[in-house]
A and B are shown apart, each in its own frame.
Chain A
């Protein structure tokens, strides 16, 4: 039971990310507990989330959840039912307007409650949180597809001269796997995102991404076995010999990638 509890605890820590926003949420709950008198608000924003948190950490509930969903990995979604943002925002409003009533004209006496205190609360939220736009996964959009322009250029070159209704099998570097089929589903991939994300074994991926330098002979064999006719390599990828020596003709290039076609 303790082990199951610890699994939930680790999941909670991953969810909360050690952020002060969680402390802010707890402070908001305490404020509501002491200051909020309206029962409907107490029921929905106080009792219900506390019950959900209790269930989240309750080992038997986790066992039940895993049994129903066949996986406990998504249990963090139960924490979505704890309305952190709403509660903090509501508590912020309560705090800002604990004393003054609506309708009074804005004057210096009330300026603190109406402007300064909300500004301080806003600042606390900013300081406790992390700006989403500074996230490492956030990049400037290069086009309306919101996928890298170079991925589009590579896709265009792969499907150049491809007859209507036909599809082509290509092996692309791991950093491009996510984007290719978001642009053109006529391209079939020799290995996909599951190989990278879940660490499954795939021969092409092993020979292409894990070997350094790439053994072209072995890679060609793996590619031909999977009927792959297009190979995309990063320019800086070290290869033991020229792909041309193994029957791969250079057919196109972009700033960082070289596109080869099988001539055998």
Chain B
């Protein structure tokens, strides 16, 4: 009944690692070169994969009556197939480019790993200032501590089984999609037919889990409880790492110490059943947990970047791609919040809007130059655009109700 076969692990690897990486390779082209790293590639690829899956899922559940989940799986596969084909074509072109330049293929695709040039080290928004960085003893100590704490969390996610009543809803929705080929039209608690449960249906995360389960052949409950935490826990820490880089800049030692403290806070943050820390380790696989621990920190990262650009008008020194970076993260965070949780969408949109307002208020100038006003208006427009996916999803909820 587990559905485990020889092909399961390669297929899981394909769904959970390769497809996001292929997508990411294309998406990271919009980022500044120094940010085109493996981690960003995976994170952005996964978020874009979610963004692709969301409309397919909403279309299939609202428009297709019979075998809607099979149709959803096929459409998602076709979409991911197209992206992968595009990605392979791009990677092929990069082979030629690397030969032409005489540069390593890896650094052509991921320029974030290129040795730093003097100009980039001098850049006021630099992130990795040290060339041939050799770890100091304190860095070694902190990275070891963090590594141990991370490993403990991953191992505990495997060997411990937290009970959460909401699993009877969310996990069952995934299992139902996999086993009965329906999408949100069977009552998860009971199993009887019901009308489309649009309140939950707009958050397509359980359907994406069912998609992974269908492709890999593994039971959706195993995918949720056992497989996903292995990916999601390190991914959330990666987002916190990016956030820490914004706050602590070049102090790699402090970034590692930050992650160590944060891990301790997560492990000992079980002060009530409502905190993000409790959600993170007790129901990692649920959309709400990912909203609190992946989407919100991502938005904080975007806001820190944006605040960094706005204070002292540093944006004037930034390239176009650097200026666009926080907005790309903001947009992806807003889409992902709708993908993970319908109520999370509201708080994330609120955080984004409030964050930009506070940045505006804190960097306000009475006598701004005309182009500063133009810049501010542009930011306001961008904020509205980034909040648009959440608003559209809310509108779709009203229309389909």
Chain A residues within an 8 Å CB radius of B253:
97, 102
Mask of A93-128 contacts with B, CB within 8 angstroms, 1/0: 100110000110110000000110010011001101
Q: Max chain A CB contacts within 10 Å: which of B172, B261, B276, B312? A: B261
Which residues of chain A from 169 to 187 have any CB-CB distance to chain B below 8 Å in the complex?
177-179, 181-187
B266 CB → nearest A CB, Å: 7
Q: Is A79 an interface residue (CB 8 A)?
A: yes
A178 touches B304 (CB 8 A): no
B297 touches A146 (CB 8 A): no
B138 touches A80 (CB 8 A): no
Q: Is B132 an interface residue (CB 8 A)?
A: no
Chain A residues within an 8 Å CB radius of B271:
16-19, 21-22, 129-130
Chain A residues within an 8 Å CB radius of B248:
90, 93
A243 CB → nearest B CB, Å: 23
Bound: A185/B269 CA distance, A: 35
Nearest 3 pairs of A and B residues by beta carbon: A192-B189, A129-B268, A19-B271
For this complex, 26 residue pairs linking A to B, each with C-beta atoms less than 8 Å apart, are A43-B307, A44-B303, A45-B247, A48-B303, A48-B355, A52-B354, A76-B274, A77-B347, A85-B265, A86-B262, A93-B248, A96-B254, A105-B136, A118-B142, A121-B261, A125-B264, A129-B268, A131-B270, A132-B269, A138-B160, A141-B158, A178-B163, A178-B167, A179-B168, A181-B189, A182-B168
A69 touches B343 (CB 8 A): yes
Chain B residues within an 8 Å CB radius of A187:
191
Which residues of chain B from 255 to 296 have any CB-CB distance to chain A below 8 Å in the complex?
257-262, 264-272, 274-278, 281-282, 288, 291-292, 296
A85 touches B266 (CB 8 A): yes
B280 CB → nearest A CB, Å: 9
A146 touches B221 (CB 8 A): yes
Chain B residues within an 8 Å CB radius of A144:
2, 222, 225-226
Known contacts A125-B268, A131-B270; A83/B179 CB under 8 A:
no
Give 9 A-B pairs besides A126-B264, A132-B266, A137-B282 with Cβ atoms closer than 8 angstroms.
A19-B271, A43-B363, A44-B307, A77-B344, A86-B240, A114-B138, A132-B270, A147-B225, A177-B189
B343 touches A182 (CB 8 A): no
Q: Is A201 an interface residue (CB 8 A)?
A: no
Mask of B23-50 contacts with A, CB within 8 angstroms, 1/0: 0000000000000000000000000000
Q: Max chain B CB contacts within 10 Å: which of A16, A122, A128? A: A122
Bound: A215/B14 CA distance, A: 54
- Contacting residue for B161 out of A42, A52, A96, A146, CB 8 A: A146
Chain B residues within an 8 Å CB radius of A197:
165
Known contacts A48-B354, A129-B271, A130-B270; A189/B278 CB under 8 A:
no
Bound: A136/B148 CA distance, A: 24
Bound: A193/B136 CA distance, A: 54
Which stretch from B52-60, B115-123, B180-188, B365-373 is at the chain A interface?
Answer: B180-188
A14 touches B272 (CB 8 A): yes
Q: Is B350 an interface residue (CB 8 A)?
A: yes
Q: Max chain A CB contacts within 10 Å: which of B1, B190, B303? A: B190
Q: Max chain A CB contacts within 10 Å: which of B172, B191, B222, B358? A: B191
Chain A residues within an 8 Å CB radius of B136:
102-103, 105-106
Bound: A230/B138 CA distance, A: 63
Q: Is B13 an interface residue (CB 8 A)?
A: no
B266 touches A183 (CB 8 A): no
Q: Is B92 an interface residue (CB 8 A)?
A: no
Q: Is B9 an interface residue (CB 8 A)?
A: no
Which residues of chain B from 222 to 262 have any CB-CB distance to chain A below 8 Å in the complex?
222, 225-226, 240, 243-244, 246-248, 251, 253-254, 257-262
A18 CB → nearest B CB, Å: 8
B168 touches A122 (CB 8 A): no
Known contacts A19-B271, A167-B191; A122/B264 CB under 8 A:
yes
Q: Is A145 an interface residue (CB 8 A)?
A: yes
CB < 8 Å A-B pair total: 275
Q: Is B89 an interface residue (CB 8 A)?
A: no
Known contacts A106-B138, A185-B191, A193-B189; A140/B169 CB under 8 A:
no
Chain B residues within an 8 Å CB radius of A77:
288, 292, 343-344, 347
Bound: A193/B166 CA distance, A: 9
Bound: A78/B276 CA distance, A: 11
Bound: A68/B168 CA distance, A: 26
State the interface size on chain A (CB cutoff 8 A). Answer: 87
Q: Is B399 an interface residue (CB 8 A)?
A: no
- Contacting residue for B296 out of A43, A80, A92, A125, CB 8 A: A80
Q: Is B300 an interface residue (CB 8 A)?
A: yes
Chain A residues within an 8 Å CB radius of B310:
40
Bound: A209/B331 CA distance, A: 49
Q: Max chain A CB contacts within 10 Å: which of B186, B248, B265, B359? A: B265
Mask of B303-329 contacts with A, CB within 8 angstroms, 1/0: 110011011100000000000000000
Bound: A128/B268 CA distance, A: 8
B167 touches A182 (CB 8 A): yes
Known contacts A15-B275, A21-B269; A141/B159 CB under 8 A:
yes
B311 touches A39 (CB 8 A): yes
A181 touches B172 (CB 8 A): yes
B137 CB → nearest A CB, Å: 4
Which residues of chain A from 201 to 245 have any CB-CB distance to chain B below 8 Å in the complex?
none
Bound: A249/B205 CA distance, A: 42
A64 CB → nearest B CB, Å: 11
Mask of A43-83 contacts with B, CB within 8 angstroms, 1/0: 11101100110010000000000001100001011111101
A85 touches B262 (CB 8 A): yes
Bound: A194/B274 CA distance, A: 20
Chain A residues within an 8 Å CB radius of B307:
39-41, 43-44
